[in-house]
Amino acid sequence: MHFDLLVVGAGPAGLSAAIRFKQLCKEKGQDLSVCVIEKGSEVGAHILSGNVLQPTALEELLPEWRDDADCPVHRQPATASRFYYMTSKFGVRLPNPPQMKHKGNFVISLSETVRWLGRKAEELGVEIFPGFAGAKVMYGPGGEVHGVQTNDFGVGKDGKRKDSFQLGMALTARATLLAEGCRGSLSQAVMKRFGLREKAGAQPQTYALGLKEVWEVAPEKHKPGLVVHAVGHPLPWDVYGGSFIYHMPDNRVALGLVVALDYRNPHLNLFQEFQQWKRHPMVSRLLEGGTCLQYGARTLNEGGWQSIPSLAFPGGALVGDSAGFLNVPKIKGTHTAMKSGMLAAEAAFNAMTSQPAGKPLDLSAYETSFKSSWVDQELFRERNIRPSFSLGAGIWGGIAYSALDTYLLRGQAPWTLRHRYADHERLKPAAECAPREYPKPDGQITFDLNTSLFRSQTNHEHDQPPHLRLVNPKLPEVVNLPVYDGPEARYCPAGVYEWVTGEDGGKQLQINAQNCLHCKACDIKDPTQNIRWTVPEGGGGPSYTVM
């Protein structure tokens, strides 16, 4: 199947690109086709974000959104902001950093919001195919990106075709936009093939894992629109991260813990750290008597301005978190992702209507427009905040530098701090680090992993080739286990990696791929970079509805 524009990923960046492209078609009287493929079972099923939306890009894309009764964004304006330093028992109120003031923003469920964006895209004539995972990039005779091949359906674990077999589709396009989100598998392949990180002189991308729940709390405890951020407990002083509590509409509260993946202690268990955070009196008092509705986890880019790769490649471009546009101090990336999709769509439309047919499209105009946009200016201004926490002085050193950069230098320092290491290079040997102990869950506020996974509604066809692959199957047993005490069992928030006793009495790594939340933490943090995350059959994975 051939389209003019192919978008991989129905998140905020991909759908904004599709909408903007169709708007231009309507404005200019052009009949050009747009296809969006999405690996989730439906639009929004794989979308997770603790989200207080800055509506800048939404205002530009759909100015009438406030008058749309179907739009979920305007249901809950942010009404107040608070910032705390948490000790093990108390929360100390601190002044709100300027980046964390939320006047004019909205507390949303991003999975609900992208469903609405999907409907707006379809109204404009965009074809959206949920349940179709982009398995590999197709290249033309000149090496340019020519489209995407989707996964085959109905292949068993043994690699043989089952009765239900369906051949994957070859989707070709004049321009392909990769909007897969953080650490997208196709985006990683394209960056490597075309040397996009090297071309831009980009520093290593750094990441964090966000673990999130949505609760329904007692009405008397609910404060609609309240936005709370905190640093400190339960994370060690040298681990970058923080927590959030967002009061949504309908007595719902979104809460979570974000942990930077450059942490050094392999004993750190990210799921258990999240449970430990909920035991804090400031959190537990809010949740007592409430009901946990949903659980999930997802990685996010934290590298910022200095880690952005070259955005355009022959035949396409990277948009949204495939490239990494999160504003870390603001803890916001939806508005920047949407704007990047809009800019890429404009470049693609202009290229299609001005460049000769039959030749690879040059989308370098997207790169140019991005560098003159408010997104680049915003990310440049905040570029030194995140790396300041890795200078060796821990959380307080980072906070002190951030205050200097924000209030005195106003983001215009004559230097740019570097990200010197990739996250997988940071783990210390287990023998050099103190173990961490975690209490058992109480089943009321804290939960075991299986209970939480049930709330994510994650599901995969069991009889299919594993989508999590070890390049060297023996490497975990000879490196990860003896040196790092098997860290994959602790950085994965879904119990995918489990060390079991084999027939010979030794420990073996068992991969429970059916548990996977598609968070990509394993692909990022594995110290030997031996794990390859690939897409499973389309439609597999979590099924988020309010995340």
Of the listed 298, 381, 383, 426, which one is catalytic?
A: 298
Of the listed 113, 334, 388, 406, which one is catalytic?
A: 334
Rounded Cα gap, residues 275 and 490, in angstroms = 13
Q: Are 195 and 24 in contact (CB under 8 A)?
A: no
Rounded Cα gap, residues 422 and 86, in angstroms = 28
Rounded Cα gap, residues 82 and 98, in angstroms = 12
Of the listed 49, 176, 446, 452, which one is catalytic?
A: 49
Q: Are 12 and 320 in contact (CB under 8 A)?
A: yes
Question: Is residue 291 annotated as part of the catalytic site, yes or no?
Answer: no
Q: Are 49 and 12 in contact (CB under 8 A)?
A: no
Q: Are 504 and 7 in contact (CB under 8 A)?
A: no
Give the single-character DSSP code of 289: T
Using CB atoms within 10 Å of the CB of residue 450, give its burial: 0 to 12 exposed, 13 to 18 middle, 19+ buried: exposed
Of the listed 25, 35, 71, 522, which one is catalytic?
A: 522
Contacts of 138 by beta carbon, 8 Å cutoff, 6+ apart: 145, 146, 147, 148, 149, 170, 172
Of the listed 35, 71, 292, 519, which one is catalytic?
A: 519
Using CB atoms within 10 Å of the CB of residue 485, give its burial: 0 to 12 exposed, 13 to 18 middle, 19+ buried: middle
Question: Is residue 292 annotated as part of the catalytic site, yes or no?
Answer: no
Task: Please report where in the chains the tokens 């429970």 appear, as a residue.
Answer: 512
Helix axes 334-354, 364-371, angle to 10 degrees: 140
- Select from 504, 500, 509 the least CA-distant residue to 477: 509
Question: Is residue 492 annotated as part of the catalytic site, yes or no?
Answer: yes
If one counts every other C-beta atom within 10 angstroms of the C-beta of residue 433, the result is 16
Question: Is residue 164 annotated as part of the catalytic site, yes or no?
Answer: no
| Beta strands 241-247; 252-260: pairing state | antiparallel
- Select from 41, 51, 108, 37 the least CA-distant residue to 76: 108
Question: Is residue 71 annotated as part of the catalytic site, yes or no?
Answer: no
Determine the distance from the C-alpha atom of residue 248 to the mean position of all C-alpha atoms in its chain, rounded to a whole number: 21
- Amino acid letter at 147? G
- Select from 268, 294, 280, 295 the least CA-distant residue to 230: 280
Rounded Cα gap, residues 408 and 243, in angstroms = 26
Give catalytic residues, as residue numbers.
49, 298, 334, 492, 516, 519, 522
